[in-house]
Amino acid sequence: MFRLVKYLKPYLLLILISIGLLFGQAMADLALPNHMSEIVNIGIQQGGVENAVPQAIRASEMDKLVIFMSAENKTTVLTDYTLIDSNSVDYQNYLKKYPVLANEPVYVLNQIDIIKIQKLAPITGKAILVVSMLEQAVKDPAKAALLGQSSGFDISKLPAGMDVFALLSKLPADQISKMTASVNEKFSAMSSSMIAQSAAAPIKAEYEALGMDAGKIQTAYILRLGGWMLLLTLLSATATIIVGFLSARTAAGVSRDLRRAVFGKVESFSKAEFEKFSTASLITRSTNDVTQIQMVIIMIIRMVFYAPIIGVGAIIRAVHKSPSMTWIIALAVALLLVLIVMVFSVSLPKFKRIQSLIDRLNLVTRESLSGMMVIRAFNTQAFEAERFDKANKDLTANNLFVSRVMVVMMPMMMLLMNGLSVLIIWVGAHQVAASALQVGDMMAFMQYAMQVVFSFLMLSLMFIILPRAVVSGGRIADVLAIEPTIVDPKEPKQFDTKTNGLVEFRNVSFRYPDAEENVLCGINFTAKPGETTAIIGSTGSGKSTVVNLIPRFFDVTEGAIFVDGVDIREVNQSDLREKIGYIPQKGMLFSGTIESNLRYADEGASLESLNKAVEIAQANEFISTKENGLQSEISQGGVNVSGGQKQRLAIARALVKQPPIYIFDDCLSALDFKTDSALRHALKKETGKSAMIIVTQRVSTIKTAEQIVVLDEGEIVGKGTHRELMKNCETYREIALSQLSKEELA
């Protein structure tokens, strides 16, 4: 997998943009639970009162508050407030906002930053709570007695109608401090948010006393935060869409590049390299394996990059909300990891086996479809169906096993998450009852815990799916890592222009890769332009191997092959093959039309050249019977034409190229003797200046050849004309007599 990382380099910018967008999306997603908790805590429970610092307060109420402040705190508070009365410059504007200003002065909070707000909040908040407790104690004897026990100041013993705060203002400062300290002990365990929540009700009552619309304050706060949440959601959704597009573009681009690289590499393979991979495996590697890489790239960009950001961010915010409940997240993550390890250990071997099973299924399917006629001829449909069924069932069983593991995992995950929610609610409810935690914070903690679990779940799914992609990546990398044994020289030579089509074998020997013995030994002959050189021999004598060496489908083991005086290993393969018209033993046609197959040799060939090639190849007879002529459709592999028609079209295709060297690799075997004879006469007439190298088993085909090379077990046992070989070569004479009578051979 890591061997394919270089294919991500062109898309590095898209990946970096995606990571940046994912970071923004994570920040938006992490902010939503916090805003939700603020709506619950402040918007609903506190009526929109954000902190324990009132925006405005009546002068009479401020006088009560400062009683319970130290001289330093009193100075700090009064410095940050401005007293507004009828003599103030903006009196009329303030009167509209605070109607009570008509009756008494009002202290209005100055424009101060959040740091000063945080400094003032505990001072004003605690003072507001003390005043609130005293006011409640005046109205409720039970609360008065309770306050007296804790502070030593029993309000119930005061004369009826006496102003408690007027009395307190006249008490010595040390006595007030002592009483305030004893009451403040009740607030010492309360966090700043709990103090704000407790002070919200008195502050809201004060706003109503000022003539402000408390309901409007609450609604405005909820709408403002709700708007922010909506905006964050839209930003998150936009980031998700853009990241999805960029990840898909990156994955599709990498997949395209991989397919192109694999196809290009396979195109450079010689026959030796093709023997290392089956055709079915190469198809699977170019399609299914690349698709696995594409899926994983999308998931890595969208999930693996996102999961750590959201996971770490959620943990930090959860700890900030409630440090005492973080053990719950640790417990959930530990249980999740145990579940993931179990699933991973069970499913990993199966994931690794899937690709090889797909290879096997493709191989069986391809063989069955391509050999359907043979299968029917031998009545082995049942055997082939059973073979396909076994490959299909093996793949199905493997996929079903993996699916069952995943099906079991999802209910376990849901049980874990629901159990986590119940545990957070149970523990959080006790903390809410003890005034150690706000309801909104508990709800936010729950959401952050879910985000942590989901981040680990996303990573776990990647670790389950990644092994299959790693296997696919390794299979693709194995193809790309193959170094072709046949390569172009660094400084290629050019062919000699004085000769055109001269082929020389000089002491050539050849051994297949990993073979122990040579299949060709000491091959020496020359094929001259304007002459026909025939190669004949028994089956397995090495005839096709000889001609496969000329276009460098294989490279010689010893000796050298020269074309126009140049060693073929010293020129570019494209230049060499440009001089050769190759007709293989099995005529291969491509899906399209007859014309498109002929133009495969020369895209710019004229219609006249095509018709002439068809005429020489004796293919005009059957083409003229077709309704569309050269525009007639050819099915994949040429299955809608006969073997002889396929071979004649393959010959015509080579003739369109008009090369100086023609190689006929036993391609006349499907032709009848009449067509064979007519074809050879036409070839001799129209291609008289080219070198003709014909591999055949028919003696009648090569009787008139200027040179016949006889092979036996990889060695030349005879070389000359038909008449010479009949006299001097026992092997050739045996082959000839087995095919023709003495009269025909005369």
Residue tagged 């973080």 (tokens): 326
Q: Which two tokens stand for residue 179?
A: 């009483």
Would you state the pLDDT for residue 508? 93
Quick one: 384 and 330 in the same domain?
yes
Q: Is residue 155 part of a domain?
A: yes
Separation of CA 9 from chain center: 14
List pLDDT tens digits, range 503-516: 999 999 998 877 78
Q: Which two tokens stand for residue 331?
A: 């417990």
The residue from 450, 481, 512 where one domain ends is 481
Integer Cα distance of 201 and 267 in angstroms: 80
β-strands 558-563, 566-567: how paired?
antiparallel
Q: Is residue 564 part of a domain?
A: yes
583 DSSP β-pair partners: 664
Q: Is residue 218 part of a domain?
A: no
664 DSSP β-pair partners: 583, 694
Residue tagged 């005043």 (tokens): 131
Q: Which of 627, 647, 339 is nearest to 463 (CA)?
A: 339
Among 9-18, 90-99, 441-450, 662-671, the least confident range? 662-671
Share of the chain above pLDDT 70, in %: 91
Integer Cα distance of 57 and 207 in angstroms: 8
Quick one: 347 and 251 in the same domain?
yes
CATH number of the domain residue 448 falls in: 1.20.1560.10
Quick one: 465 and 348 in the same domain?
yes
Separation of CA 743 from chain center: 73
Integer Cα distance of 333 and 457 in angstroms: 9
Quick one: 574 and 615 in the same domain?
no
What is the rounded (10 degree) CA torsion for 683, 688, 689, 690? 30
Give residue 629's identity as a one-letter amino acid code: G
Would you state the pLDDT for residue 541? 86
Would you state the pLDDT for residue 670? 65
Q: Which of 548, 544, 523, 518 is nearest to 719 (CA)?
A: 523
Would you state the pLDDT for residue 23? 94
Selected residue with higher pLDDT from 465 and 61: 61
Measured from the Cβ of residue 47, the count of other Cβ atoms closer than 10 Å reads: 18
Quick one: 161 and 66 in the same domain?
yes
The residue from 643, 658, 673 where one domain ends is 658
Q: Is residue 41 part of a domain?
A: no
- What domain count does the chain have? 4
Would you state the pLDDT for residue 231? 95
Q: Is residue 277 part of a domain?
A: yes
The residue from 481, 498, 524 where one domain ends is 481
718 DSSP β-pair partners: 710
Would you state the pLDDT for residue 241? 94
Q: Which two tokens stand for residue 207?
A: 């706003």
Q: Is residue 333 part of a domain?
A: yes
Cβ neighbors of 555 (< 8 A, separation 6 or more) are: 270, 485, 486, 549, 569
Helix, strand or coil, per DSSP, at residue 536: strand
* pLDDT of residue 280 exceeding 80: no
Q: Which of 451, 449, 431, 450 is nearest to 439 (CA)?
A: 431
Q: Which two tokens stand for residue 8?
A: 């991500």
Integer Cα distance of 733 and 76 in angstroms: 124
List pLDDT tens digits, range 539-586: 888 888 899 899 988 889 999 999 988 999 999 988 898 899 888 888
Average pLDDT over residues 184-203: 76
Give the long-range contacts of residues 137-144, CB within 8 A, separation 24 or more.
138/164
Q: Is residue 13 part of a domain?
A: yes
Quick one: 157 and 17 in the same domain?
no
Give residue 619's identity as a one-letter amino acid code: A
Quick one: 367 and 450 in the same domain?
yes
pLDDT band at 497 (very low <50, low <70, confident <90, very high): confident
Quick one: 668 and 554 in the same domain?
yes
Quick one: 461 and 352 in the same domain?
yes
- Rounded to a whole number of angstroms, the CA Rg of the chain reads 46
Integer Cα distance of 472 and 715 in angstroms: 45
CB-based burial label for 686 (10 Å; 0-12, 13-18, 19+): middle
List pLDDT tens digits, range 198-231: 888 898 988 888 888 888 888 998 999 999 999 9
Quick one: 309 and 336 in the same domain?
yes
Q: Is residue 217 part of a domain?
A: no
Quick one: 84 and 155 in the same domain?
yes
Q: Which of 453, 454, 449, 455 is nearest to 427 (CA)?
A: 449
List pLDDT tens digits, range 17-33: 999 999 999 999 999 99
Measured from the Cβ of residue 400, the count of other Cβ atoms closer than 10 Å reads: 13
Helix, strand or coil, per DSSP, at residue 583: strand
Integer Cα distance of 123 and 136 in angstroms: 20
Q: Is the dihedral of CA 437, 442, 444, 447 positive or negative?
A: positive
Average pLDDT over residues 114-120: 88
Integer Cα distance of 745 and 336 in angstroms: 86
483 DSSP β-pair partners: none
Give residue 538's identity as a one-letter amino acid code: S
* Model confidence pTM above 0.85: no
CA dist 429 → 317, 438, 441, 442 (Å): 19, 9, 11, 8
536 DSSP β-pair partners: 710
Quick one: 562 and 690 in the same domain?
yes
Integer Cα distance of 276 and 321 in angstroms: 61
Measured between alpha carbons, how far apart are the two ends of the chain, in Å? 67
Give residue 589's identity as a one-letter amino acid code: L
| CB of 544 closer than 8 Å to CB of 703 | no
Integer Cα distance of 94 and 105 in angstroms: 11
Q: Which of 458, 464, 480 is nearest to 354 (CA)?
A: 464
Residue tagged 């909104």 (tokens): 440
* pLDDT of residue 349 exceeding 80: no
Residue tagged 């009552």 (tokens): 205
Integer Cα distance of 550 and 541 in angstroms: 17
Helix, strand or coil, per DSSP, at residue 198: helix
* pLDDT of residue 183 exceeding 60: no
CATH number of the domain residue 545 falls in: 3.40.50.300
Which residues constitute the domain of residue 598? Answer: 582-658
